[in-house]
A and B are shown apart, each in its own frame.
Chain A
Amino acid sequence: KQEVTQIPAALSVPEGENLVLNCSFTDSAIYNLQWFRQDPGKGLTSLLLIQSSQREQTSGRLNASLDKSSGRSTLYIAASQPGDSATYLCAVISISNFGNEKLTFGTGTRLTIIP
C-alpha cells in the first residue's frame, strides 16, 4: 500500500527566503508525482507535474525534483512571498490493486511566509 509523508507539517519563514518542502513515498513504482497548493476553504490547484522519467520540473519560482529510487520529491520555492502562504500537498500516481490509476496524497505542509 502506497503511503505518502510530508515533513514538516508546518513551516514559517521570513519573506524573501528560499525554502524546501519534502515529500516521501514508500512504493517507487509510480507513474508521476504532482504538487498541489490549497488555500484555506478552497480546493486544490495543481502546481507542477513530474513524469516518472523526469527528474525535475520548473515553473516560475517553483522547482520540483523527483528521485524515484529513494522515494523522495522536493518542492523548492525561491524568494518567498506572503502570497505563497498556503498548504502544499504532494500526490503520487500509481496503479491500485484494482488495476486503475490511483492518486495518493500526503498530509501536506502548511507554509506561512512572514512579511
Chain B
Amino acid sequence: EAGVAQSPRYKIIEKRQSVAFWCNPISGHATLYWYQQILGQGPKLLIQFQNNGVVDDSQLPKDRFSAERLKGVDSTLKIQPAKLEDSAVYLCASSLEGLAATGELFFGEGSRLTVL
C-alpha cells in the first residue's frame, strides 16, 4: 500500500514569493490534514478536509495561506506572499476513519520550506 505522497521535498524561496505544496493521501482515506512544523516544535494543524469539504481551518493564516482539495483526493497548499516566519516543514497526513475511533494518522515525509 502506497503511503502519503508529498512534493516537493525541499523548497527555498525569497520572502514575498509564492510557493505551492502537493499532497496525495493514501487511497480511500477521506480525511486529509495539513500541518506546519516549525523547528523544535510539534506539528500545528493548519487545515483539515473531510472529502473535499473544509472541517477546520481556524489556524490557517487566510491572508496568505490557501488550500484546496477539489476532487476529494489530492490537495494543494499555497503560500502567497511568503514571510520569513513561514520557514517550516509542511506535513500532510490522512486517516481512513475518525481519529476518535480506532483510526490512525498516516504522515507523508513533509515539504521543507526555507524563506530567505
Interface size class on chain B is 20 to 34
* In-complex Cβ contact of B43 among A49, A96, A97, A105 (8 A): A105
C-alpha gap A47/B99 in the complex (Å):
15
Kindly state whether residue A89 has any CB partner on chain B within 8 Å: yes
Query: B-contacting residues of A (Cβ < 8 Å)?
Result: 4, 31-32, 34, 36, 41-46, 49, 51, 89, 91, 93, 95-98, 100-103, 105-108
- Please, could you name 28 A-B residue pairs with CB atoms under 8 Å apart, sorted by A? A4-B42, A31-B99, A32-B100, A34-B104, A34-B105, A36-B107, A41-B110, A41-B112, A42-B110, A43-B4, A43-B91, A44-B43, A44-B93, A49-B104, A51-B102, A89-B43, A91-B42, A95-B100, A96-B58, A97-B58, A98-B56, A100-B55, A102-B45, A103-B33, A103-B45, A107-B41, A107-B42, A108-B42
B interface residues, Cβ below 8 angstroms from A: 4, 33, 40-45, 48, 55-56, 58, 91, 93, 98-100, 102, 104-110, 112
